[in-house]
Structure 1
Amino acid sequence: MTTSTEPFYKKLSLNLITLALLGAALYLGQGILVPLFFAILLATLLLPVTNFLQRIRIPKLPAIVLSIGISLALIAGIIYLLSTQVANFLEDSAAIKERFNTLIHSLQDWINQTFHVSTRKQNQYLKDTAQNMKDSGAGIVGQTVVTITEALSYVVFLPVYTFLILFYKDLIKKFIVSVFKSTREENVSEILRESRSMGQHYILGLVTDMSIVFALNALGFLILGIKYAIFLALVAALLNLIPYIGMLIANIFCMLITLISSDNLSDVVWVAVILAAVQFIDNNFLMPMVVGNRVRINALVTIVGVVIGGTLCGVSGMFLAIPGIAVLKVIFDRVDDLKPWGMLLGDLPDTKPAKEKAKKKAAPPKD
């Protein structure tokens, strides 16, 4: 009995230690690894474009530069659209501040009547909180500097990493196949091919899904005459890229902005209704249609993965969690010792065909 359980515990402990080391490496080296992972995703997405440009007799180097330039132009367009909407929103900052103060006074009166906490005590608590934030201002400034530095590193390193990955893709593939030469070479090539196909399918699906969600949200907000309709629709579409958690944050943000900017409480309710309706359409029709069943990861693993990714690497980790888990599932499904882990990450198997076959076998033959 001891001999049969020892290999199981050894394998399990080695797998857990490996996952823990990968998590520690990701946390400690996120400044280097996260831009590299984004570059891998972008290179995977641009690979068909570069291959097409090379097929029409454009040399390899100009083809890579041209494909990266097109992608950066699209990203710059999205950033420009978002920045213009934010600028339009900030133009009304004085009116928004006045409306916000009115809502705060109404909330304070409600707290005073309901919980018998005087307005003076509430104001004192707000002053103490503001003082604490002021005392920790150096830390906030430091964090802001770090965030700006990370953004600049993305701007600099993302196109460079993407270019080098596309340029040396054959060398990288040969290296990976050579490292795992002890296993079947066909199996390693299949894992690489499936991971690349899954990444392309997933990213293209997300971009298509984000565009449709943005259009539906914007259409609904414009029909109802919601203020800052394009801005709110764009923020909700971008946050929708983060599974489950992103849409919850988008709902709270859009309802709060509408509450501050609108005099009608019904507008807040209608914003929630539109977001809920679009989310229902997205979950039940759009995502299965545009992304399909290529990324079959169950909801529990998705939520836990997004939370762990956010803890390790912030918002970037939340976005990278799903494609990362999907690649791990591709690897687990093709390695015999890791197949149970792949089963844990996936959806529940469809047992209907097996049950029907069993019933047919058990049923007596017809005369």
Structure 2
Amino acid sequence: MKKFTSALSDIEKSIQNYLYIKILISLGTALVSAGILYLFRVDFVIILAVFIFILNFIPNIGSFVAVGIAISTYLLKYGIGFDVIWLLAALTLVQIIFGNILEPMIAGDRLNISPIWIIISLFVWYWIWGIVGMIMAIPLMAVIKIILSHSSSTKELSEFFS
């Protein structure tokens, strides 16, 4: 019973850590994107930043939709021009840096899971459950790792994911 209670406690801490990381990454993405949108004189910067923050919780697809909404807002006011390419590049770069570099590194470090396994788990859980799987991928990976680490017969397998 003690191992079970310990595992549940570790799972709770791990999920709290993940949510904390996700909120900070989403906030960082939204704030930097808002700064870029402001520099490009895009209307409704605060509303767009809130959309970016919320959509950032959906890995990859949310980023694509968030950038699409911001670009569409820009196009409605200014039309097609060379600046839209720079805006698209800047917003995409922010999404890549925060979502594909910083988040796997920070989550991997805080959850003791290799960033490679985090990326692999995104693909595997997407394949199994679609978008919901992508949203749940990192917490599920953390839970699996914790469960494996609390059994003497699977402890080595748990370390393989670190």
Provide TM-score, normalisation by structure 2: 0.74
d(CA) in 2 for partners of 1:305, 1:269 = 32
- What residue is the counterpart of 1:324 in the other structure? 140
Tell me the CA shift for residue 328 of structure 1: 0.8
Tell me the CA shift for residue 329 of structure 1: 0.6
d(CA) in 1 for partners of 2:48, 2:38 = 11
Measured against aligned partners, the alpha-carbon deviations of 1:135-188 in whole angstroms (never above 9, x if no partner) come to: xxxxxxxxxxxxxxxxxxxxxxxxxxxxxxxxxxxxxxxxxx3xxxxxxx3x32
Contact 2:52 2:66 in 1 (8 A): yes
Amino acid of the structure 2 residue aligned with 1:197:
K
Query: CA, structure 1 residues 249+340, in 2 after alignment: closer, same or farther (shift >3 Å)?
Result: farther
- What residue is the counterpart of 1:280 in the other structure? 97
Q: Pick from 99, 109, 113 the counterpart of residue 297 of structure 1.
A: 113
Query: CA, structure 1 residues 337+315, in 2 after alignment: closer, same or farther (shift >3 Å)?
Result: same
Whether 2:72 is the aligned partner of 1:257: answer: yes
Q: Which protein has greater RCO, CA pairs closer than 8 Å, 6+ apart?
A: 2
Q: Pick from 3, 11, 16 the counterpart of residue 200 of structure 1.
A: 16
Query: CA, structure 1 residues 231+275, in 2 after alignment: closer, same or farther (shift >3 Å)?
Result: farther
Measured against aligned partners, the alpha-carbon deviations of 1:238-290 in whole angstroms (never above 9, x if no partner) come to: 333244x24662476257525743322313322321441464367449x73xx
Whether 2:89 is the aligned partner of 1:240: answer: no
d(CA) in 2 for partners of 1:224, 1:321 = 35
Tell me the CA shift for residue 223 of structure 1: 2.4
- What residue is the counterpart of 1:95 in the other structure? none
Amino acid of the structure 2 residue aligned with 1:206:
K
Amino acid of the structure 1 residue aligned with 2:153:
D
Tell me the CA shift for residue 218 of structure 1: 1.4
User: Which consecutive residues of structure 1, in runs of 5 or more, have no partner in the other structure?
Assistant: 1-176, 178-184, 347-367
Tell me the CA shift for residue 305 of structure 1: 2.0
d(CA) in 2 for partners of 1:280, 1:314 = 23
User: Which consecutive residues of structure 2, in runs of 5 or more, have no partner in the other structure?
Assistant: none
Query: CA, structure 1 residues 269+276, in 2 after alignment: closer, same or farther (shift >3 Å)?
Result: same
d(CA) in 2 for partners of 1:223, 1:340 = 51
- What residue is the counterpart of 1:311 in the other structure? 127
d(CA) in 2 for partners of 1:188, 1:254 = 45
d(CA) in 2 for partners of 1:339, 1:200 = 23
1:293 alignment partner, SS class: helix
Q: Percent identity?
A: 18
Provide TM-score, normalisation by structure 1: 0.37
- What residue is the counterpart of 2:86 in the other structure? 269
Measured against aligned partners, the alpha-carbon deviations of 1:309-337 in whole angstroms (never above 9, x if no partner) come to: 23333322211111011011111122222
**Over the residues paired in the alignment, what is the CA RMSD in angstroms?**
3.1
d(CA) in 2 for partners of 1:284, 1:248 = 14
Query: CA, structure 1 residues 310+337, in 2 after alignment: closer, same or farther (shift >3 Å)?
Result: same
Contact 1:259 1:265 in 2 (8 A): no
Larger CA Rg, structure 1 vs 2:
1
- What residue is the counterpart of 2:42 in the other structure? 226
Measured against aligned partners, the alpha-carbon deviations of 1:189-244 in whole angstroms (never above 9, x if no partner) come to: 2211111111112112322332232122112202221245344433333333244x
2:111 alignment partner, SS class: coil
Contact 1:259 1:268 in 2 (8 A): no
Aligned residues: 158
